[in-house]
Chain A
């Protein structure tokens, strides 16, 4: 297994999924923050959203604040925002 966080986010199956499709801010950020608090260090969370501002602004802001690497995948109208919880 690679130690590169980006590679991990790309290749690893997420440990948990959070589906917030149809929701707008502040809900995706609040729910993601809540879920991350309950997860263990080293786990990957995948947030599924169709709210563009969440992937453009609020979720990256959340990750930057926590210091967690993230990666965004787009599938049609839906985004898969993956976060690696680090120490």
Chain B
């Protein structure tokens, strides 16, 4: 039997201008919604270990599940050719697990995953500027120290697959086929349990809140009292929940988006790119980490240092501005405008200046980790659920472990 095709096939015959426009719009939406919804994968994981709260982690599971169901449906409906779903599946190996562990640890101590680092940097958080700088340095550290060894193991298949694509495509692994039937069954097998798990975790957490509120004979769910003005002269107003409010408040940016609303919009954003970018380029949401490395490369060019010519990894990666680079830039633009219009934008420096050093060191680990894993929590983990691959599960395990260690280390400081 012939191997499945590894030639990209467009879903539409649009021009590159349309592709760039859609990627720009998609990046803008990603930055805007993530900022308004305070969407942070690291925070979703730290709260599991600090307070055993699974609400935000549940939302992430729903995000992955809806993405898998959505991309699967688009393929099954014949709107997106199947090879466009698996073409960008990466190699999986020891480095996926180790890299995601290093990434999770670094992101948790620095104060943000790749997504939250970018949208918070755009909202004025100096801590995340420093983390971003650290990530760029980390990319260089990885390129000169780890990449030569890692690429050798990838070539030789040492604890690694030697190719990605359909080889890591779950429909192919399960059914040895990339037929519509195989894709349909796999996306259902993957997506439905993830969505069900996410809803269960959210419900379980909220049930726990209600139970604890009744135990202390205190209406915790309505306990937030928000008062304005001086602390001594305030006239507090009881609010039902800090997240409460109507649609009007949402549209006027008076209150943040709820976690589930953000989840749905972000999943739809992923599907927009999956459809429009099919056959042209990496048709999933941003490759923030490698773009971070590329920005470091561009920054050094005026100084006469050209990493593209002298350094492994940079030599092997793209140096041109592609739709993904534009998407990262527009992510920052969307986040900046959202934070500015909502009155949230402000240059903020941590009171404890030592946190800047921690942010920088954490950023270096983020840079090393994402390059080892061949992607970050967006471009690899979330994306891979849309690709119906298995790297996302490996990354999730590694990242959870890294975040757990970071929480424990932080507790002992």
Contact = CB atoms under 8 A, between A and B. Distances in A.
A24 B227 CA distance: 22
A64 B220 contact: yes
B234 A21 contact: no
Contact of B234 (A73, A77, A87): A73
Interface in A8-32: 9-10, 19-27, 29-31
A21 B212 contact: no
- Residue from A6, A31, A53 whose CB has the most chain B CB atoms within 10 Å: A53
Given A25-B38, A70-B223, A73-B231, A64 B46 contact: no
Contacts of B255: 56
Interface in B217-276: 218, 220-221, 223-231, 234, 236, 241-243, 255-256, 259
A40 interface: no
A20 B212 CA distance: 27
Contacts of B229: 74-75
Interface in A45-87: 50-53, 55-58, 60-75, 77, 80, 86-87
A69 B216 contact: yes
B342 to A, nearest CB: 8
Given A22-B351, A34-B411, A64-B221, A80 B38 contact: no
B281 to A, nearest CB: 31
Contacts of B111: 23-27
A26 B110 CA distance: 9
Given A67-B213, A75-B231, A30 B223 contact: no
Interface in B10-63: 38, 40, 42-43, 46-47, 50-53, 55-56
Contacts, number: 157
Interface stretch (B123-131, B136-144, B162-170, B301-309): B123-131
A30 B301 CA distance: 40
B225 A30 contact: no
B223 to A, nearest CB: 5
Which label, helix, strand, loop or mixed, suits the secondary structure of the B interface?
A: mixed
A67 B47 CA distance: 15
Interface string A31-42: 101100100000
A60 B216 CA distance: 16
B215 to A, nearest CB: 6
Given A25-B40, A77-B346, A56 B46 contact: no
A33 B51 contact: yes
A56 B242 contact: yes
B78 interface: no
B47 A19 contact: no
Contact of A21 (B56, B120, B228, B350): B350
A86 B227 contact: no
Contacts of A25: 38, 40, 42-43, 111-112, 116
Contacts of A26: 40, 42-43, 46-47, 50, 108, 111
A56 B209 contact: no
B157 interface: no
Contact of B227 (A23, A51, A72, A87): A72
Given A61-B56, A65-B52, A65-B209, 13 more contacts: A19-B351, A20-B351, A21-B350, A24-B111, A30-B46, A50-B346, A56-B243, A65-B51, A67-B213, A70-B223, A70-B224, A71-B236, A73-B227
Q: Which 9 A-B pairs have the closest CB atoms?
A: A67-B212, A53-B38, A22-B350, A26-B46, A33-B50, A64-B209, A26-B43, A22-B348, A65-B51
13 contacts: A5-B223, A10-B236, A21-B351, A25-B40, A25-B42, A26-B42, A27-B111, A29-B47, A64-B209, A65-B208, A67-B218, A77-B346, A86-B216
Interface of A: 5-6, 9-10, 19-27, 29-31, 33-34, 37, 50-53, 55-58, 60-75, 77, 80, 86-87
